[in-house]
Amino acid sequence: MRPDPSAALRHRTVAAPAGRLHLVEQGTGPLVLLIHGFPESWYSWRHQLPALAAAGYRAVAVDVRGYGRSSEPAGADAYRLLDLAEDNVAVVRALGEETAVLVGHDWGSNIASASALLHPGVFTAVALLSVPYAPPGGPRPTDVFSRIGGPGEEFYVSYFQEPGRAEAEIEPDVRGWLAGFYAALSADTMPAADEPDPHFVARDGGRLRDRFPADSRPAWLTDDVLDFYAAQFEHTGLTGALNRYRAVDRDWEDLAPHRGAPITQPSLFIGGTRDASTTWMSDAIDAFPTTLPALSASHLLDGCGHWVQQERPEETNRLLADWLATLTPSSS
């Protein structure tokens, strides 16, 4: 279905536990919240907003706390999944609705999963992009991440843990760093499938960007798109975004009462065959019959990288619209 060009984007801010959340919405009908990941913004859903509006939904893309025009609370504890789930509930209420469908990508997938798990009466269905659902539990996350990588190497999540360290690398050249990070995870600019992927580790004493693809830009990342993202982070800095990584051990503690819990609402998964998230977490995908018992479908897009809704927007739009149509009639 063709997007309706006459349905304009509407920007607004709403009150939430974070303080202020910036939203961009398009269309009318059942509410669909779109939750981005790192390092992105509401703009990551620029292709989905008009498509879902044309399909008869009220599509709302959120700037997660710490991003864009949303508030940036101080301290890593303010970026726990419990708090981000409460932000999503506040958005639903501020928009005058009782329930919503959630669609999350990357960290947004984890935020959407936690929101659906903690507030099943509010979030009636959940679509997860790139990062599959894994129930709370297992070893402490930072203990796991510290064991990833070879001798003299440090996994990127561990690298992000120390306040100020990654900021010192990124903020002198935000645009260049973002371009390299996006390229490292895009299918057309990452290493060939049979080559080792070094882009998620830093050598001891080195920087993460030292292993980014050199002078390589994925097809989806035009100058206009990169300029938008760069302007956002040049204005806000990266600390709010990076604090999500620094809260993972608190999540592990907070969600302990939900260890092993499935998400029982209708669900959908879309990932890429060339995304490290779907290979590292292949066991989580295999466990979907238990962890997502109401899963409608799991789609792995052949030759697609991590940024599925930007690398493959038309395919992603079709899969989302088809799935949403099975949940509830739209307003079209």
Indicate whether 2 belongs to any domain: no
Burial environment of residue 22 by CB neighbours within 10 A (0 to 12, 13 to 18, 19 or more): buried
Per-residue pLDDT of 150-176, as tens digits, reads 778 888 999 999 999 999 999 999 999
Active site (catalytic) residues:
106, 306
How many domains would you assign to the chain? 1
Q: Is 186 inside any structural domain? A: yes
List the domain range (segments joined by +) for residue 109.
Answer: 10-327
In a domain, 1, yes or no: no
Residue 160 inside a domain? The answer is: yes
Please give the chain's pLDDT, 332 residues, in tens. 344 444 589 999 999 998 999 999 999 999 999 999 999 999 999 999 999 999 999 999 999 999 999 999 999 999 999 999 999 999 999 999 999 999 999 999 999 999 999 999 999 999 999 999 999 999 999 998 888 877 788 889 999 999 999 999 999 999 999 999 999 999 999 866 555 556 778 877 788 898 888 788 999 999 999 999 999 999 999 999 999 999 999 999 999 999 999 999 999 999 999 998 998 899 999 999 999 999 999 999 999 999 999 999 999 999 999 999 999 765 55
Report whether 68 contacts 42 (CB < 8 A).
Answer: yes
Whether 196 is covered by a domain: the verdict is: yes
Q: 121-156 pLDDT, tens per residue?
A: 999 999 999 999 999 999 999 998 888 877 788 889
Residue 332 belongs to a domain: no
Q: What is the pLDDT of residue 6?
A: 41
Convert the pLDDT of each residue in 24-50 to its tens digit.
999 999 999 999 999 999 999 999 999
CATH number assigned to the domain comprising residue 164 = 3.40.50.1820
Task: Give the contacts of 82 (CB within 8 A, at least 6 positions apart).
Answer: 114, 118, 251, 254, 255
Predicted local confidence at residue 330, as pLDDT: 54
